[in-house]
Amino acid sequence: MSDIPSLAGALEKALADAAGGDGRKVAPVSFTLDYGAGGDSSGAAVSARVDRATRSLIFVHGEAVLADGRRAASASGVFRVRET
pLDDT tens profile 2-39: 444 588 889 999 999 999 988 889 999 999 999 887 76
- 8-state DSSP, 9: H
Q: What's the number of domains the chain is made of? A: 1
Measured CA to CA, the distance from residue 28 to residue 20 in angstroms comes to 11
Range of the domain at 18: 4-81
pTM exceeding 0.75: yes
Distances (CA, A) of 33 to 4, 57, 74, 83: 11, 19, 6, 27
- 8-state DSSP, 19: H
What is the length of the chain?
Answer: 84
Q: What is the CATH number of the domain that holds 36?
A: 3.10.129.10
